[in-house]
A and B are shown apart, each in its own frame.
Chain A
Amino acid sequence: MGAYYVALTAFLVLAAFFYARSRAVSAVAASGGGVSFHSLPAYHGLYAAMCVLIPLLLIFVVGSILTGKLAVDAGLAHFPADVAADALKRGAALREIENVISGHGSAAGNDALQRAADAYTSMRAIGGWTMLVLGIATAIGGIAHATGRIRPDFRARNNFERFTQVVLAASATIAILTTIGIVFSVLYETGRFFFDPALKGKPTITQFLFGLEWNPQAALRADQGDIATAFGFVPLLTGTLLITLIAIAVAGPLGLFSAIYLSEYATPRFRAWAKPILEILAGVPTVVLGFFAALTVAPLIRGWGEALGLNVASESALAAGLVMGMMIIPFVSSLSDDVINAVPQSLRDGAYALGATKSETIKKVVLPAALPGIVSAFMLAISRAIGETMIVVMAAGLAANLTFNPLDAVTTITVQIKTILVGDQEFDSAKTLAAFALGFVLFFVTLMLNYIALRVVQKYREQYD
């Protein structure tokens, strides 16, 4: 029924547009050019379409919710009274009804269930037809309203402008509310992790933030270690920072230098095919990069390390960091290339005319002017590196070692979140909720990095107009 309603809405909106537009065209023609209309016929059409679309959407949203609720009530009325009150029984009853309707289950020998399913279906049908009829009536009303306003002085253009503005503002609001919603849900679960009195084996905030040992299994089994030291966040943070540092040490210079080469030195022909190739690198799925790191780079590093007499773990931070660096090169290079290109040629000409060489011009004039963009390119790359999971899962391992040695195995925040949440979980255990705390800290770290970068840019930017 929902699909019919959407199709009908689309049809009515289009019909309203074309009908009102043609009415406006003939109204203009009938006036013989004697009267000047404020809005073009197309705007009268758009106004009519808007008069149909808004009420029909409202009817759809309200009607669907109402129909769903009425249908559930009608179905449950055929069950004993205590079913509707108990959440578990209620859910089971609804599943039974659905199974009967879809034909997966059978109501044979259970008259009450069959009656419930019938009542449910008929209530949905009634709701659906009511919505359709109501929708058509409203649409006709909307079209009548809009065509009644096809007058020279009616400002259909301005009305449609306001509608456009509302649609845009609504889109922005939804995006912002989603972000806020995610933050609050993570914040709520984090609060439970630290403060829920029913939760066993939870650490204090201090133990979490400054603990030097990460061993969440301890929360599940008493014989696996001391609960008080099970959720130490520090090894995960150092692991994350170590790998991110290696990645940015690879991607920073390579990305920035290739951006400078591409934008300042390369011939247009070379640039035309080199830049897309660099951007293809951004399209390589991280899972592919991950097994490249685990199966190619890590053994290679181990082999070299052993040849030099070093003790290298087979899953090393270095391997993960190097490959992650490769992953973020395109972010640095492509964005930096764009901002370097945006620096006006007149600034370069000014420097050349003073007898500066190309590299002097780049170093003293172009890069300072492009600094804000370059810093945001780096920040985006760092955020990607901190949040990256697949490569580290495969190449860096799970061992929460507190070390700064790039040849050791380390683990990261994201890897631990993934490890905690993969598989069957009980959501009232400290081990599971720890994932939310980790997620929140990760979010906070990234936010802080962005804030610091913003301040740095504001302080050192050289603004050209």
Chain B
Amino acid sequence: MQSVEKGLSMDMATQNASLAQPLAPAVAAPSTKVVARDVNVYYGEKHAIKNVSIDIPDNSVTAFIGPSGCGKSTFLRSINRMNDTIPICRVNGRIELEGQDIYDPRLDVVQLHARVGMVFQKPNPFPKSIYENVAYGPRIHGLAASKTELDEIVQTSLIKAGLFNEVKDRLNDTGTGLSGGQQQRLCIARAIAVSPDVILMDEPCSALDPIATAKVEELIDELRQNFCIIIVTHSMQQAARVSQRTAFFHLGVLVEEGETAQIFTNPQDKRTQDYITGRFG
């Protein structure tokens, strides 16, 4: 496990490298982070996800859209094996993270969770101080050798989550005392403190008001530079605003997937067109 600082400096290095080559294409074809092939998910008898295959690029935001119950959250949760906690849930097919099969029985699920972070629909800060909320992950993974290092990780994470200026004077106040939008950004800070490769967001703004939503969306756009972000959303406007790629799910099937602009302006499938024009869902 690398330290956060190393992770940061490496990210900086890649950024600097791309800055140093102004002649390279403006949007360099990003490397593929997550690969899914023929993934099927069953809840008991119910076939929730049917033969989904998708490539998810690094350093970009991929949005999963679709009507309620279409399986987009289920598929999201199979990317970090959060579905494992549900006893009746079965997953088959292949999901790779940087070429490594995450359903390999030799793989440690706990380590996988550290590499694939998750932000939930309802903000769920721990009933601890703001500092402790962010420090929790680095502590259990031993990312900081000293108190100073831990302080630094907490600070950088809060800065990256755009929350630091609002809470810097009250890091010891309880995290549940923050407003809903601040709580959600605290949860994002908590997730990035363990420097994951991928961040999964399950409708992160559905419990927030429009102003808090705008702040979180802005944050998501900034985080894209360092992380691969996958977001499930009910709001097509949100998908259009924050994502580079969009995948449309319907009845457990991945109907269509592509550049966000193309999905919203020129969908190939009739069902996608009906959904984004508001015919159903």
Bound together: yes
Cα-based distance from A464 to B124 in the complex (angstroms): 9
Asked if A282 CB lies within 8 Å of chain B CBs, one says no
* Contact of A353 with B127 in the complex, beta carbons under 8 Å: no
Asked if A68 CB lies within 8 Å of chain B CBs, one says no
Cα-based distance from A454 to B206 in the complex (angstroms): 38
Which residues of chain A from 325 to 377 have a CB within 8 Å of any chain B CB? 344, 346-347, 349-357, 360, 364-365, 368-369
Asked if A462 CB lies within 8 Å of chain B CBs, one says yes
Asked if A111 CB lies within 8 Å of chain B CBs, one says no
Cα-based distance from A363 to B126 in the complex (angstroms): 13
Kindly report which residue of chain A lies nearest to residue B111, judged by CB atoms.
A355
* Contact of B127 with A368 in the complex, beta carbons under 8 Å: yes
Within 8 Å CB of B120, what residues of A? 346, 349-350, 353
* Contact of A355 with B140 in the complex, beta carbons under 8 Å: yes
Asked if B165 CB lies within 8 Å of chain A CBs, one says no
> Given that A352-B82, A355-B137, A463-B176 are known contacts, is A346 also in contact with B124, CB under 8 Å in the complex?
yes
Cα-based distance from A352 to B141 in the complex (angstroms): 12
* Contact of A353 with B118 in the complex, beta carbons under 8 Å: yes
* Contact of A354 with B127 in the complex, beta carbons under 8 Å: no
Within 8 Å CB of B174, what residues of A? 462-463
Within 8 Å CB of A424, what residues of B? none
* Contact of A347 with B124 in the complex, beta carbons under 8 Å: yes
Cα-based distance from A350 to B117 in the complex (angstroms): 9
> Given that A347-B126, A462-B126, A463-B174 are known contacts, is A354 also in contact with B82, CB under 8 Å in the complex?
no
In the assembled complex, the CB of A322 is this many whole angstroms from the nearest CB of chain B, namely 36
Chain A 237-269: CB-based contact to B (< 8 A → 1; otherwise 0): 000000000000000000000000000000100
Asked if A465 CB lies within 8 Å of chain B CBs, one says yes
Asked if B80 CB lies within 8 Å of chain A CBs, one says yes
Segment among B50-58, B186-194, B243-251 that sits at the interface with chain A: B186-194
* Contact of B113 with A365 in the complex, beta carbons under 8 Å: no
Which residues of chain B from 169 to 197 have a CB within 8 Å of any chain A CB? 174, 176, 187, 190-191, 194
Within 8 Å CB of A356, what residues of B? 110, 113, 136-137, 140
Chain A 424-465: CB-based contact to B (< 8 A → 1; otherwise 0): 000000000000000000000000000000000000001111
Within 8 Å CB of A364, what residues of B? 136, 140
Cα-based distance from A464 to B176 in the complex (angstroms): 7
Kindly report which residue of chain A lies nearest to residue B199, judged by CB atoms.
A353
Cα-based distance from A76 to B82 in the complex (angstroms): 85
Within 8 Å CB of A351, what residues of B? 126, 136
Asked if B128 CB lies within 8 Å of chain A CBs, one says yes
Cα-based distance from A350 to B176 in the complex (angstroms): 14
- Majority secondary structure, A binding face: helix
Within 8 Å CB of B82, what residues of A? 349, 352-353
* Contact of B126 with A350 in the complex, beta carbons under 8 Å: yes
Within 8 Å CB of A352, what residues of B? 82, 85, 113
Within 8 Å CB of A463, what residues of B? 127, 174, 176
Cα-based distance from A346 to B87 in the complex (angstroms): 17
Asked if B122 CB lies within 8 Å of chain A CBs, one says yes
Question: Interface size for chain B: under 10, 10 to 19, 20 to 34, or 35 or more residues?
Answer: 20 to 34
> Given that A346-B122, A464-B176 are known contacts, is A355 also in contact with B128, CB under 8 Å in the complex?
no
Partner of A353, one of B122, B125, B191: B191
Cα-based distance from A267 to B85 in the complex (angstroms): 12
Asked if B114 CB lies within 8 Å of chain A CBs, one says yes
Which residues of chain B from 42 to 95 have a CB within 8 Å of any chain A CB? 80, 82, 85, 87
Cα-based distance from A327 to B38 in the complex (angstroms): 56
Chain B 198-232: CB-based contact to A (< 8 A → 1; otherwise 0): 00000000000000000000000000000000000
Kindly report which residue of chain A lies nearest to residue B125, judged by CB atoms.
A350
Within 8 Å CB of B194, what residues of A? 354-355
Cα-based distance from A344 to B122 in the complex (angstroms): 12
Which residues of chain B from 151 to 176 have a CB within 8 Å of any chain A CB? 174, 176
Within 8 Å CB of B187, what residues of A? 350
* Contact of A353 with B113 in the complex, beta carbons under 8 Å: yes
Partner of B140, one of A267, A346, A354, A465: A354
* Contact of B126 with A353 in the complex, beta carbons under 8 Å: no
Within 8 Å CB of B111, what residues of A? 355
Within 8 Å CB of A368, what residues of B? 127-128
* Contact of A355 with B141 in the complex, beta carbons under 8 Å: yes
Chain A 396-407: CB-based contact to B (< 8 A → 1; otherwise 0): 000000000000
Partner of B191, one of A344, A354, A462, A465: A354
* Contact of A354 with B122 in the complex, beta carbons under 8 Å: no
> Given that A354-B194, A364-B136 are known contacts, is A464 also in contact with B127, CB under 8 Å in the complex?
yes
Partner of B128, one of A349, A353, A354, A462: A462
* Contact of A355 with B127 in the complex, beta carbons under 8 Å: no
Cα-based distance from A360 to B125 in the complex (angstroms): 16
In the assembled complex, the CB of B118 is this many whole angstroms from the nearest CB of chain A, namely 4
Within 8 Å CB of A464, what residues of B? 127, 176
Cα-based distance from A307 to B164 in the complex (angstroms): 66
Kindly report which residue of chain A lies nearest to residue B138, judged by CB atoms.
A354
Cα-based distance from A352 to B115 in the complex (angstroms): 12
In the assembled complex, the CB of A266 is this many whole angstroms from the nearest CB of chain B, namely 12
Within 8 Å CB of B118, what residues of A? 349, 353
* Contact of A353 with B85 in the complex, beta carbons under 8 Å: no
In the assembled complex, the CB of A132 is this many whole angstroms from the nearest CB of chain B, namely 62
Closest 3 CB pairs of A and B: A355-B114, A462-B127, A353-B118
Binding site for A on B (CB under 8 A): 80, 82, 85, 87, 110-115, 117-118, 120, 122, 124-128, 136-137, 140-141, 174, 176, 187, 190-191, 194
Q: List 24 A-B contacts (CB under 8 A).
A: A267-B87, A344-B124, A346-B122, A349-B82, A349-B85, A349-B120, A350-B187, A350-B190, A351-B126, A352-B85, A352-B113, A353-B80, A354-B117, A355-B115, A355-B140, A355-B141, A356-B136, A356-B140, A360-B140, A368-B127, A462-B126, A462-B128, A463-B176, A464-B176
16 other contacts beyond A365-B126, A462-B174, with CB at 8 A cut-off?
Answer: A267-B87, A346-B124, A349-B118, A350-B125, A352-B82, A354-B114, A354-B140, A354-B191, A355-B114, A355-B140, A356-B140, A364-B136, A368-B128, A369-B126, A462-B127, A463-B176
